[in-house]
Structure 1
Amino acid sequence: MHSTNEKLNSIQSLRGLAAMLVVMFHFRTDLATDFPVANWLFAQGAIGVDLFFMISGFIVYYVTLNENNGMKSSKIFLIKRICRIFPPYFIATLFIAGNSWDKWSSTFRSFSFLPADITQAAPYFGYPRLFVGWSLNYEFVFYTICGFALLFRKHKYTVLTVFIVSFVALPRLVNDYGIPLSNINYGYHGYLALTTNGMMLEFVAGIFIGYIAVNMKLYPSMYAGWAVICLATTYFIYITLGFGNTPGNGNYDFAAASFFLLLSLSCYEYQYGINPPKLLTSIGTISFSIYLMHPHGLSLARKLISRHYHGSFTGVTTAILALIFTALFSMAFYKLFEIGLSNYLRRKLLNKLHKPVIAVS
């Protein structure tokens, strides 16, 4: 049995997988100019976001399992989450803040984690200044709900689940829509647009997976476990290559494939342990920095190639250069901001929270 202070190898490796899928999804158009097959290979790479959401739900269950101190647990959880997400995202966004009031206005709005434009298609609702930030809007809402749910101590997961499921299901019951939950745009404003979107159910699915992994033994043997992992992996690859019926963020194919892959690997690790490739777990460790930095890497690569290189295979050269920049930027960003600055702020705020109050007579 793992303690909640240990990192799960399966989760780290899946983070790495999710990050690389998203990266290649965004780099595919450059690759496809020389190798059109790349557009098919990576066209469904956005599934990495669905996998990230379920991992977030799993981690929330994993780290709050024994947090039953009400307000204190809520404050600690929110401080840790805020320090992990806010500083890196704000700094990564400031890199492209722009040189006009309209661009700076878009930048400041991005910092609020509000949907950019609720008239746009769900679940994205337009894109913030750093376009990958649309998914962080959902993360912010989810963590806020988690902080509220922790006030209910041992009933926290019940409250969290009922809250999210109710907000997603009730508008659907009132309005007659025949499209997937994640694609429905009710026209609600602000955070309500996010809270009522079907993407929120993926966080709940991750919590459910966490409960199963920690409390149940699904596999009668290691061989049975590996058989299930192989089946789940095959299904995930099948969907990622575009053979499903309903691809897209929050839709059944992406959600189901992510669910079974995360469930199979996490349950196996809890029973028997697992040692995935170190490269994948290393990528997983800096996956958040990769997620934030790869748009910058791609942008710089495109600018350099367009200005200084006009030979053959410009698309492949751009993609390779973008990968190199992404790796370099991500490692530096991880050290300086995701770990350095975030941990510094976390220590300061947590120390302040735990500082004893001296009574004044």
Structure 2
Amino acid sequence: MIELSYFLRMRIKQIDILRGIAALLVTIFHLTGSAGLSKATASYGSYGWLGVQIFFVISGFVLPYSMYKTGYNISSFGTFLIKRIVRVYPPYLVAIAIAVAMAIATGRELLYGITLLSHFLFLNELLGLHSWSPVFWTLFIEFQFYILIGILFPIVVSNNYKSLAFVFVMSILSLLFSRSIVVYWFPFFGLGILIFNKYFTNMSLKMFWFGITTLTVLIAYVHGISHAVAGLSAVLFILFVKADQETFFNRALFGLGNISYSLYLVHWELGRAAVNISRHLPFVGSNEVIKVLTGLAFSIISAYIFYILVEKPSVRYSSRIKYNTRLISIKRAFKRA
């Protein structure tokens, strides 16, 4: 119980810091790849896309943990999905509105018909249609994971052998699916699920490390060495890195973790726009590092405003929806806001 209580006090903060790192990686990847910047600058952030894989590992732990903590059971599946939609969807819709506004302002081609409508169901990647933003595809993967874990959560918590078998079977099936289906990415989610099992279902250390090692090898085979390194690094960070020291660096990353979803949504449009605009500032000139830093600063400021105005209310509304309640309680949660 000492280990578990320590985990509850400290490891959730670890995960927020890891979220901040993942969001920062993805943001830098996209900003350094902005139009007009050199290949040398782009190379600085060339591995930032691995932040997405880190996000998947985090979700693999956080979602089962949240469901376990709040007493989820399969009869609450509908309420669970509503909670996730209320949490994720409003910021996503506003991000789409920002993308449309930026397209109009910059003269980019607008999306119409099925291409536009598919955004509202996260279906662009699955249907092979153009998307307003290259970051939106991961939301579809995450939502598939919500459905999958909501249905199969009893297996995750019922028995360690069943849970490990579930993770292995789903991960092996990743060999058969395309990148637009959650199963393809399941080995990353599986790493997070195993961390949950280690702390909350008393999975033995031998079973845990056997599972982690097997999944890491599978990820290296299916996705590549860099993906495997990202996934394993996320696991080791959650397990062993301490965040109890109140340093400026820890506080900054923790703050980024709090706004990581907002930063993920807005940096593509607003951050890259800031990079492009910064080239016209007299003190910047041809210094590409300053251009990227300008875009990064504007991304973080925009994400913080987005978080306060859009994401935080969504979090509040979602938290008011409780399991094992009738639909009317969901309506009341919004009326009390």
| The two structures share one fold, judged by TM-score above 0.5 | yes
Q: Which amino acid aligns with 2:97?
A: L
Call closer, same or farther: CA 1:157–1:319 in 2, change over 3 Å: farther
| Cα distance in structure 2, aligned partners of 1:32 and 1:95 | 22
Q: 1:328 aligns with which of 294, 298, 301?
A: 301
Q: Matched residue of 1:8: which SS?
A: helix
Match of 2:277 in 1: 304
2:174, 2:269 → 1: CA distance?
38
1:304 to partner: Cα distance = 2.7
Aligned to 2:181, what secondary structure does the other structure show?
helix
Deviates more, 1:278-287 or 1:66-75: 66-75
Distance apart, 1:354 and its partner CA: 7.5
Distance 2:174 2:233 in 1: 30
For residues 263-317 of structure 1, the C-alpha deviation after alignment (integer angstroms, 9 at most, x for no partner) is 3233337xx8744711111111111111111112234224534667697226334
Is 1:194 aligned to 2:198, yes or no? Answer: no
User: Are the counterparts in 2 of residues 30 and 315 from structure 1 also a CA contact under 8 Å?
Assistant: no
Aligned residue pairs, count: 302
Change in CA separation of 1:160 and 1:90 when aligned onto 2, cut-off 3 Å: farther
Query: What is the rounded CA distance, in whole Å, between the counterparts of 1:286 and 1:148 in structure 2?
Result: 29
Structure-to-structure mapping, 1:1-361, within 5 angstroms? 1-2=4-5, 8-30=12-34, 33=37, 37-66=40-69, 70-97=73-100, 98=103, 102-103=111-112, 105-116=114-125, 128-150=131-153, 154-155=157-158, 166=169, 169-170=172-173, 172=175, 185=178, 193-197=180-184, 199-214=185-200, 215=202, 251-268=223-240, 274-275=244-245, 277-305=250-278, 312-313=285-286, 315-344=288-317, 346-347=319-320, 353=327, 355=329
CA contact (8 A) 1:56 1:206 kept: yes
Cα 1:339–1:154 shift into 2, 3 Å = same
- Partner of 2:51, secondary structure, is helix
The two structures have a TM-score, normalised by structure 2, of 0.73
User: Residue type matched to 2:83 in 1?
Assistant: K
Aligned-pair CA distance for 1:157: 8.2
Structure 1 regions of 5+ residues with no counterpart? 119-124, 174-183, 187-192, 219-245, 357-361
Supply the AA of the counterpart residue of 1:129: W
Measure how far apart 1:256 and its partner are.
2.6
Deviation at residue 86 of structure 1 after TM alignment? 1.1
User: What whole-Å deviation, never above 9, does each CA across 1:225-265 have from its counterpart, x for those lacking one?
Assistant: xxxxxxxxxxxxxxxxxxxxx999x7242343233323323
Shift of 1:90: 1.4
Bigger shift: 346-355 or 58-67? 346-355
Amino acid across the alignment from 2:77: S
Q: CA, structure 1 residues 262+316, in 2 after alignment: closer, same or farther (shift >3 Å)?
A: closer
Seen in structure 2, the aligned counterparts of structure 1 residues 5 and 90 have a Cα distance that, compared at 3 Å, is: farther
1:110–1:116 contact (8 Å) kept in structure 2? no
More helix by share: 2
CA contact 2:81–2:146 (8 Å) conserved in 1: yes
Distance 1:65 1:74, change over 3 A: same
The change in CA–CA distance for 1:64 and 1:95 in structure 2 (over 3 A counts) is same
State percent identity of aligned pairs: 24
Partners of 1:333 and 1:163 in 2: CA distance:
38
Change (3 A) 1:143 1:158: farther
Q: Which amino acid aligns with 1:260?
A: L
**Preserved contact between residue 87 and residue 341 of structure 1 (Cα < 8 Å):** yes
Shift of 1:16: 0.7
Question: Helix, strand or coil for the counterpart of 2:111?
Answer: helix
Structure 2: distance between partners of 1:126 and 1:165:
31
In the alignment, is the contact (CA less than 8 A) between 1:61 and 1:211 conserved in 2? no
Question: Cα–Cα, structure 1 residues 39 and 14, in superposed 2: closer, same or farther, change >3 Å?
Answer: same
Asked if structure 2 preserves the Cα contact closer than 8 Å seen for 1:28 and 1:38, the reply is yes
Aligned to 1:39, the other structure's residue is in SS state helix
Q: Residues 86 and 172 (structure 1 numbering): CA distance in 2 closer, same or farther, change over 3 Å?
A: same
Q: Give 1:58 shift.
A: 1.0
